[in-house]
Amino acid sequence: MKTMKKEKLDAVRVWKEFEDVLVPRLALSVVDRAVYSHLLRHSHLEGRRELRFSITWLSRGARVSVTPTRQAVRRLLEQGVLRLIRRSNAGHTVEVCLPEEVRAAADPGVAAPGGEACDTKMEGIDYMENAAARKAIHARDQGFCFYCLRRLEEEVKTLDHVVPQVHGGGNSYRNLVSCCADCNCYKKELPAGDFLRRLYREGRLTVFELRERLRALDALAAGKLRPRVETSEGSDTE
Give the up-direction half-sphere exposure of residue 28: CA atoms within 13 A in the CB hemisphere.
28
What confidence score (pLDDT) does residue 138 get? 92
* 57-66, 95-104, 191-200: segment of lowest average pLDDT: 95-104
Across residues 91-107, what is the average pLDDT? 82
pLDDT at 111 over 50: no
Cα(208)–Cα(187) distance, rounded to whole angstroms?
21
pLDDT tens sequence across 57-97: 999 999 999 999 999 998 898 888 998 888 887 788 999 99
Residue 44's pLDDT band (cuts 50, 70, 90): very high
Domains of the chain in start order, with CATH, are 11-101 (1.10.10.10), 106-237 (1.10.30.50)
Region at 227 (left for phi over 0; alpha for psi -120 to 50; beta for the rest): beta
Distance in angstroms between the alpha carbons of the first and the last residue of the chain: 43
Residue 163's pLDDT band (cuts 50, 70, 90): confident
